[in-house]
């Protein structure tokens, strides 16, 4: 039973094994690109926004199990959220949603938060503000 001996929570492993919303998005309203090859994690987050609400989110990630799991869960967390609510999603909330991360993997949750913020910023910079 490898799961039982994993450094990761069941929730992390579940998202790692079955990541949600993987892939690129055609004509996204916002794209976040964070991380670099030196640190070993690269995340790309795409969002589609309708009437100030994030209706779709997708990701592509190069990174460890935690990086994949945080990317996956953050795409779930933002769906259906208003932009201003989504901006409030912190790395702490990502960690909590995954039932915790090992201390050395905390930076992955920070990266997920940054990817989301960067995607929203991209949307706000390129799209006209909703009325």
Partner 1 sequence: MRRIYLDHAATTPTRPEVVKSMLPYFADSFGNPSSIHSQGQEAKGAVEEARTKVAELIGARSEEIVFTSGGTEADNFALKGVAYANEHKGNHIITTSIEHHAVMEVCKFLGRRGFTITYLPVDKYGLVNPDDVRKAITDKTILISIIHANNEVGTIEPISEIGKIAKEAEVYFHTDAVQTVGHIPVNVDKLKADLLSISAHKLYGPKGAGALYIRKGTKLVSLIHGGEQEKRRRAGTENVPGIVGLGKAVELAGQEIGKEAERLAYLRDKLIEGFGEKIDHIRLNGHPTRRLPNNVNVSVDFVEGESMLLNLDLEGICASTGSACSSASLEPSHVLLALGLPPEQAHGSLRFTMGRENTEADVERVLEVLPGIVARLRAMSPLLKTQK
Provide the 3-class DSSP secondary structure of residue 41.
strand
Q: Does 110 bind partner 1 (CB under 8 A)?
A: no
* Residue 108 annotated as catalytic: yes
CB of 32 vs partner 1, minimal distance in Å: 11
Q: Is 52 left (phi over 0), alpha (psi -120 to 50) or beta?
A: left
Question: In the window 20-79, what residues touch partner 1 (CB under 8 A)?
Answer: 22-24, 33, 37-44, 60-68
How far apart are the C-alpha atoms of 18 and 6, rounded to whole Å? 16
How far apart are the C-alpha atoms of 54 and 63, rounded to whole Å? 25
CB of 54 vs partner 1, minimal distance in Å: 20
* Residue 39 annotated as catalytic: yes
Q: Minimal CA–CA distance to 19: which of 56, 67, 54, 80? A: 67
Q: 116 — phi, psi (to 5°)?
A: -65, -50
Q: Among 50, 96, 104, 127, which residue sits at the site for partner 1 (rule: CB under 8 A)?
A: 104
Region near partner 1 per CB under 8 A, out of 15-23, 78-86, 88-96, 121-129: 15-23
Q: Summarize as ranges the residues that interact with partner 1 (CB under 8 A).
A: 2-3, 6, 13, 16-17, 19, 22-24, 33, 37-44, 60-68, 103-105, 107
- Mind telling me the catalytic residues? 39, 108
């Amino acid at each position: 039973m490898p799961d039982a001996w994993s450094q990761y929570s069941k929730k992390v492993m579940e998202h790692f094994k079955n990541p949600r919303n993987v892939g690129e998005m055609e004509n996204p309203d916002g794209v976040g690109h964070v991380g670099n090859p030196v640190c070993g994690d690269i995340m790309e987050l795409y969002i589609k926004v309708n009437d100030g609400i994030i209706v779709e989110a997708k990701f592509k990630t190069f990174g460890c199990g935690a990086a994949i799991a945080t990317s996956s869960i953050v795409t779930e967390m933002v769906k259906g959220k208003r932009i201003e609510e989504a901006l409030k999603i912190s790395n702490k909330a990502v960690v909590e949603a995954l039932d915790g991360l090992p201390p050395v993997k905390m930076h992955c949750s920070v990266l997920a938060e940054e990817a989301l913020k960067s995607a929203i910023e991209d949307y706000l910079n390129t799209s006209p503000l909703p009325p």
